[in-house]
């Protein structure tokens, strides 16, 4: 056997929230053959398996995981230029922001607004990460995934990925393990700078025509100002922005005239979860023991040091209940809860 199966591995250090129990079994895999071997082992032992990337969007429960945690560490980045565009093939285990930094350095537009998003390329595809008006699905050409039902790899073209708001075919179907993604980036692009915080940044800097590097610097500055730094444990934005009907929005707007929203397609409105938590729930900087919300951004739940997974889940439930009672809006977690 080419893979090393560990037993009773602590999972808390492998996630950015820094909470949770142990995995009964744990393995790191670096290529498709090792993934195949790990999945086969799980089938033989009749245990569940869970796919872990960078652990930036995963909350591990107190009891840990009773099966096999497979940590994806498939690496490699290659570039192929064709006319005005460049195909970038990326291993699922590559750190996402390393990819963005290298793309900007090479003068390639398309993912600069996704700077400083934590986690790996594989996790980015599964979640269809988005920030400051951009989403990863906009630049995906194709995704290679290992199908644990057929035990073969399959290539999904952009439309087949079913990328939506923090959604994809890979998130809905856990038997698909992302192994590689191909992006199409461009040598000549236009800055996506209409997002409120981005516009404000360039106005203050008196930059009227931001360059590619200006865009990355802006996003990094904005995110750094909002995001907690170590030793605080966090999984980033804990809840999705709820999408409601136009009718539901009009009801909310009547009660909360300053409610913050984003476009969400015909007859739908995306409500700012951060605004709800901050202005309606009063949760910005809230603290219950060592579990709390960040003082600069209510949407971010933080572990101040000794909070347990139970503490974090309890806080999340308290927030959901409060917002539901005050607005009628149901919040849904963006963070993935590892089953026990």
Residues acting as catalytic residues: 166, 237, 334
What's the rounded Cα separation, in Å, for the pair 101 and 26? Answer: 31
| Main-chain dihedrals φ then ψ at residue 257, nearest 5 degrees | -55, -25
Cβ burial, residue 238 (10 Å; 0-12/13-18/19+): buried
CA angle 284, 285, 290 (to 5 degrees): 135
What's the rounded Cα separation, in Å, for the pair 292 and 307? Answer: 9
- Show the DSSP H helices in the chain as ranges: 32-45, 96-105, 121-127, 169-172, 196-205, 212-226, 246-255, 273-275, 309-327
> Which of these, 131, 340, 290, lies nearest to 301 by C-alpha position?
290
CA angle 224, 216, 132 (to 5 degrees): 75
């Amino acid at each position: 056997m080419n893979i090393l199966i560990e037993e009773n591995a602590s999972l808390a250090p492998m996630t950015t929230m820094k909470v949770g129990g142990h995995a009964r079994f744990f393995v790191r895999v670096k290529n498709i053959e090792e993934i195949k071997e790990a999945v086969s082992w799980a089938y033989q032992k009749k245990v569940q398996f869970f796919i872990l990337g960078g652990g930036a969007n995963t909350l591990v429960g107190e009891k840990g995981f009773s099966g096999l945690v497979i940590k994806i560490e498939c690496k490699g980045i290659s570039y192929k230029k064709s006319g005005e565009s460049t195909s970038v093939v990326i291993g699922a285990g590559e750190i996402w922001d390393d990819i963005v930094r290298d793309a900007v350095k090479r003068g390639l537009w398309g993912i600069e607004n996704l700077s400083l998003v934590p986690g790996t390329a594989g996790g980015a595809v599964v979640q269809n990460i988005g920030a400051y008006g951009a989403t990863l699905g906009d630049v995906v050409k194709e995704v290679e995934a290992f199908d644990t039902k057929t035990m073969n790899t399959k290539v999904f073209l952009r439309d087949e990925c079913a990328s939506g708001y923090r959604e994809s075919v890979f998130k809905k179907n856990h038997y698909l393990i992302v192994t590689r993604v191909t992006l199409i980036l461009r040598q000549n692009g236009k800055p996506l700078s209409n997002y409120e915080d981005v516009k404000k940044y360039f106005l203050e800097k008196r930059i009227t025509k931001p360059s590619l590097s200006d865009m990355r610097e802006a996003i990094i500055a904005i995110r750094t100002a909002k995001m907690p730094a170590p030793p605080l444990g966090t999984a980033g934005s804990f809840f999705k922005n709820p999408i409601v009907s136009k009718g539901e929005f009009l009801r909310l707007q009547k009660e909360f005239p300053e409610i913050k929203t984003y476009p969400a397609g015909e007859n739908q409105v995306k409500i700012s979860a951060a605004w709800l938590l901050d202005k309606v729930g009063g949760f910005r900087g809230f603290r219950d023991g060592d579990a709390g919300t960040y003082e600069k951004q209510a949407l971010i739940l933080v572990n101040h040091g000794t909070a347990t997974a139970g503490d974090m889940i309890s806080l999340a439930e308290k927030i959901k209940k409060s917002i539901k009672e005050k607005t009628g809006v149901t919040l849904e977690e963006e963070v993935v809860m590892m089953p026990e």
